[in-house]
Structure formats: structure tokens, C-alpha cells
Amino acid sequence: MTDVASIVGIGETAYMRKPGSGLSLLGLQLQAAVRAIEDAGLTPRQIDGIMPFPNLGYAEGFAANLGCENLRFQSIVWMGGAAPVASLRVAGAALRDGLADYVLIPAGWNGYSGARARQTVAQDVSSLPGGAIARDYYLPFGFTAPPQWYSVMARRHMHEFGTRAEQLGCIAVAMRKHAQLNPNAVMNGRPMTLEDYMASPMLADPYRFFDCCLETDGAAAVVVTTPERARDLGKKPVTLMGAASGQPHPADEITNRKDIFRTGLTLAAPEAFGRAGISPRDVDFAQIYDCFTFEVLQQLEEAGFCKRGEGGAFVEGGRIELGGELPVNTHGGLLSEAHVLGMNHIVEAVRQLRGEAGERQVADAEIGVVTGWGDFGDGSIAILRRG
Amino acid sequence: MSQADASIPRPLPQLEGFAKDFYGHCKRRELRFQRCGGCGAWRHVPREMCPECGSWSWEWARSSGRGRVFSWTVVARALHPAFQDACPYAPVVIEMEEGVRILSEVVDCAPDELEIDMPVEVVFTDVTEDVTLPRFRRVAS
């Protein structure tokens, strides 16, 4: 198999709620970008490609501040939280075709101190997946936000396969345990038991409060280049073996899918594993986009780590915890580290594959998976290898 | 929540294009969905062409108005300021006899009484002078 690209630089800001980052949306992301470029041993003048997160930045603004005077490639993948991982794949294609030599992929927001998602929906329908469809057919009935949209899928999964709240709780508890080993995790120092989880109030039944990701300030970034260029840089390279993205059908409306569990990842995962030439059994850890607990379970199924309907049993018994068969979200994820739009999942995967994850290091980690989930079920997946 | 939040009105559909027709039928107490003139497939939400057969031909065909509860969520804490006072409320996905699904609510059913496959039928609620929403009520199975 031909390797797609290499990740050679990672950068993160501090992750926090109160008192907030004190930085602008762009300033926050620039801080992470500078760290990623330095980590790669590059200068901003060598960054000639930038792929911002949809609605959160423009390549021009990044380039003008960083001093990227040789910018020649920019692109935005409009897949919500699936964008960072999907951007890795697009960057790989751009690098291979010579559109750029070093691509910066930043993401971040003031998700706590800035405009909160629940407030913007009332003012800006264009920020919603589905746009006018959501405005005309969802919002009049109070179907206004992601935990509500996705919990309809979760309930259906419970009905069809007998998935239980305690099993969703196993996911929340695993993420929280991992956060105790991560000093930059917002929930570090705040452990949680399954009893705590079950006692947490409902938000959008079957989603409790602790099924839901954090709202935090923070940014992260990576720098991607060709495998050949990566060998000339100082860092231990992490190689993108295979990656793919996909969309459900229809992607702009979440209730009328013939098979409601067929999401973007259902399409993307076989393609990515095929390109990488490995199977899910070969994977040492997985960083799964965890906007809500059920989305972790559902993606584990659609990525092929277990069969559809078996996700509930799969996440039980510590299998997805550090020391288990498939550690998931070793940094604590969006649920317990911070909501950095999944870019923090990519950064953590790289850290694990470099052997730099400290107390939470997966022993001898060689191959890791990162997924993204966005909008009404857009999906992306990257399979990464050390070296 | 503040008074300012409580003053934000419930969101309404924008009555233009297909939505103007769909909600116009609702105002006349008719639930109609697009039905393809090529292959006969029903569809919702409205689309320009048939994703099944590619036909541009379609009509607003009248639904029986009967369906079953497919899934739902119970919103215990509103994530839109206009729905603060409505909690708990349940957005419900109804699967109609024609096969299409519609997001709505069941008006005469407390959220904890909802059941998957519960039979329901459409009712109409005038929420403003211009807008009538299709909602559902329980029927004996």
C-alpha cells in the first residue's frame, strides 16, 4: 500500500472553561498553529497550504498573521466535526499532486466563553446542518440541537438491539478515567463513576448530561507533509496509511434514511482499511469522535470494530479503557478532555504513536485510528502508523 | 433564563418555495407529500427531483394522515431559548403509512407514554395567522 502523507507537527493550547481563553477565535487557533509549526521544525514561510475548519477561520487570516508568504493551497471540507480527519485525506491528495509541500490544519474555538451553540441557533439558521430544511421542518417542533437529533438514533438503537443506558455510561466513564491521566483535560481531577453517570439529569432523553461533550475554549493544529519530506525532519514521523470520508444519504436530513445507522463512516471505514491494507483487529487504540456517548458506540460498529448491534456489549468490561483490548480516547475525548472539534483526537493519536503520551501511553502502540463525525452523520477516518 | 430569552418567538417555517406549498396544504387541513410521477415513490422533505428514479415529475399527493411512532427524544432542557417553557417536550419521528417519515410531535401524549410503533394520526394546529403545523394524536391500534 502507498502511504498517503505524514503528520510531522502537533500543537495545542491550554483547554479550559472558566475564565476563558482571553483570545480571539483567530488568536486562539494561531497559538496552536505556531506550536504545531515549531514542533515540526519548520518556519511559517514553509507552510504553503492551510485547511481551516468550516465557519471558524479563513486561510487568508492565518497566513497574514503567521507570515505564510508562500501560500498556494487552501481548502475547507464542509463536514462539521468530520472535517479535521477528512482534511488529512484531502491534504494527502494535495501533497501528492504537488499543490503544497506543508499543509497546516488548525481548529479551535471559544466554545465556553464565546457564543454558545444553544444561543447561536436562534439567530443564525445558516449555522445548522441542513440549513433551510432544519429551519422549515425541525425548528418549529423544537428539534433544534445535536443531542436531540442524535438521541433519536440512539433510542432506535436501544429498541432494535437492546442497547442500555449503562452501556452508554461505560463510554462516559472510560473517557473520564482517561482524563485523570491527562493534565490538560478539563475534567482532570474530577473522576466520575457509573453511579454518577446514571444519576446525572436528562438533557435529551436518552441522553443524560454526562452523555454530552464539554463546551470549552481551546485550539489544536497539525502540520502534514509527504512521507519523503517527513523523513528529512527531526520528529518521529507518524504516517497516514489510509483515510477516507463519507456522507449518509440523504446527508441534509436525518429522519428519512432507509437505514438510519448507515452514516458517513459506514462508507468511509472499509475504504480506509482497504487503502491501509489492515483490518480493525490490527489497531492498538482508537480516538473516536465523541460528541455524545452513543456516537462512539455507533462508530465502533460502523468502523468494523464490532458488528452492528453489538456495540453495547463491546464497550462493557473495560474493553475500551487503557489496558483493555481497544483503548478509546486515551486523552479523555470531547467528553472529558475538551471539545476541540476532534483535532485533539488527531493530536493525541500522534502523541501515542510517538510514544509521548506519558502516564496514559498505550504500550508499544504501532497503529491507531482516528474518526470524525459531523453535521447529520458525516464521517471520516484516518489510520495512522508510527514511523 | 432572562426575560429577553423568553421573548424570543418560536421559530417558524419560511413560507417560500416547497415549504410554502407544504404548509399551505396544512392550512387547508391536508397533509400532502411529494409523490414521484415516474416511479411513484413518496418523499419528504420536498426535493426538486426523485432521488430514486431521477424523474422531475411529481405531485403533492394526499397522505392518509396515519402513521406510527418511529423514534423520539424528550427534551428536558431546551437548547433554544424559545422552548424554555415547553420542557419537557418530545420531538417525535413519525413513519407514515406511505413510508415517509416526518418530524413532529404527539399532542395528547405525555413524553413518558410514547412507545415505538404507537399508531397516530395527523391533526393541525394554527400557530399564527399564516402558519399551520401538522401534529399528531393517538389512535386506537
| pLDDT tens figures, A69-85 | 999 999 999 999 999 99
A305 within 8 A of A280, measured Cβ to Cβ: yes
Task: Verify cis geometry, omega within 30 degrees of 0, for the bond prior to A250.
Answer: yes
What are the tens digits of pLDDT across the range B12-59? 999 999 999 999 999 999 999 999 999 999 999 999 999 999 999 999
Q: Give the confidence band of A127 by pLDDT, cuts at 50, 70, 90.
A: confident
Confidence of residue A146 (pLDDT cuts 50, 70, 90): very high
Amino acid in position A91: A
Return the residue in B8, B79, B89 with the most chain A beta carbons within 10 A, the one to mutate for interface testing: B79
What phi and psi, each to the nearest 5 degrees, are found at residue A197? -60, -50
Q: How far apart are CA A303 and CA A296, in angstroms?
A: 10
CA nearest neighbour of A304 among A291, A288, A290: A288
Identify the CA nearest to A48 among candidates A233, A224, A229.
A224
Please name the residue of chain B whose CA is at the shortest distance from the CA of residue A159. B116
Question: B83 to chain A: which residues are within 8 Å by CB?
Answer: 142, 144
Sorted by where each starts, the structural domains of chain A and their CATH numbers stand as 5-113+213-386 (3.40.47.10)
Using an 8 Å CB-CB cutoff, list residues of chain A that contact chain B.
117-119, 121-122, 132-133, 135-145, 147-148, 151-153, 155-156, 159, 201-207, 249-250, 253, 255-256
Q: Does B77 touch chain A (CB under 8 A)?
A: yes
CA distance A129 to chain B (A): 14
Report the C-alpha gap between A260 and A152 in whole angstroms.
10
Mean pLDDT, range A230-239, rounded to an integer: 91
Query: In chain B, which residues have their Cβ closer than 8 Å to the Cβ of A204?
Result: 73-77, 79
* Separation in Å, CA of B58 to nearest CA in chain A: 18
| pLDDT confidence of residue A121 | 66
Confidence of residue B1 (pLDDT cuts 50, 70, 90): very low
Q: Which of B8, B72, B103 sits opposite A138 (nearest CB)?
A: B103
Length of chain A: 387
In this predicted structure, what is the pLDDT of residue B2? 39
**One-letter identity of residue B60:** W
DSSP, residue by residue, A289-342: --SBHHHHHHHHHHTTSS-TT-HHHHTSTTTTSTTSSS-B-TT-HHHHT--STT
Q: Tell me the ipTM for this assembly.
A: 0.96
pLDDT attached to residue A123: 65
**Helix, coil or strand: residue B122:** strand
Interchain pair B76, A202: CB under 8 A:
yes
Domain boundaries, chain B: 13-138
pLDDT of A207 higher than 50: yes
Mutate to test the interface with A, among B75, B107, B136 (most CBs of A within 10 A): B75
- Residue A139: list chain B partners with CB under 8 A: 11, 80
Set of chain B residues whose Cβ sits within 8 Å of the Cβ of A159: 71, 116
Could B103 and A137 be called an inter-chain contact, meaning their C-beta atoms sit closer than 8 Å? yes
How near does any CA of chain A get to the CA of B40, in Å?
17
State whether B133 and A141 contact (CB < 8 Å): yes
Among A307, A311, A310, which Cα is nearest to A328's? A311
A205, A209, A212, best to mutate vs chain B, most B CBs in 10 Å: A205
Q: Considering the entire predicted model, what is its pTM?
A: 0.97
Percent pLDDT > 70 in chain A is: 98
Looking at residue A168, its pLDDT comes to 98
Instruction: Identify which of A119, A132, A205 has the shortest CB distance to residue B73.
Output: A205
Contacts of A148 in chain B (CB under 8 A): 73, 75, 79, 91
- The mean pLDDT value for A356-368 works out to 98
pLDDT per position as a tens digit, A308-349 = 999 999 999 999 999 999 999 999 999 999 999 999 999 999
Residue A122 has pLDDT above 90, yes or no: no
A vs B, Cβ pairs < 8 A, gives 118
CB of B80 less than 8 A from some CB of A: yes
Query: Which residues are CB-contacts of A243 (< 8 A; sequence separation ≥ 6)?
Result: A4, A85, A86, A88, A89, A92, A272, A275, A380, A381, A382, A383
Cβ atoms A41, A126 nearer than 8 A: no
d(CA A322, CA A329): 9
Q: Residue B94: its chain A contacts at CB < 8 A?
A: none
Closest listed residue to residue A382, CA positions, set A78, A2, A4, A1: A4
Q: Is B101 on the interface with A (CB under 8 A)?
A: yes
What's chain A's average pLDDT? 96
**Do the beta carbons of residue B13 and residue B19 sit within 8 Å?**
yes
| pLDDT at site A279 | 98
Specify which residues A217 forms β-bridges with. Answer: A16, A110
Per-residue pLDDT reduced to its tens digit, A160-196: 999 999 999 999 999 999 999 999 999 999 999 999 9
| The CA-based dihedral angle spanning residues A260, A263, A315, A350, taken in that order and rounded to the nearest 10 degrees | -170
Which of B13, B86, B116 is opposite residue A142, by nearest beta carbon? B86
Chain B positions in Cβ-Cβ contact with residue A207 (cut-off 8 Å): 73
pLDDT at B4: 42
- The residue whose grid cell reads 505564510 is A68
DSSP assignment of A328-384: B-TT-HHHHT--STTHHHHHHHHHHHHT--GGGPPTT--EEEEEEEETTTEEEEEEE
Which chain B residue lies closest to A143 (C-alpha atoms)?
B91
- Residue in B closest to A256 by C-alpha: B101
Which residue in chain A has the smallest CA separation from B44?
Answer: A256
At residue B6, does pLDDT exceed 60?
A: no
Find the CB nearest A141 among B19, B71, B103.
Answer: B103
State mean pLDDT over A123-144: 89
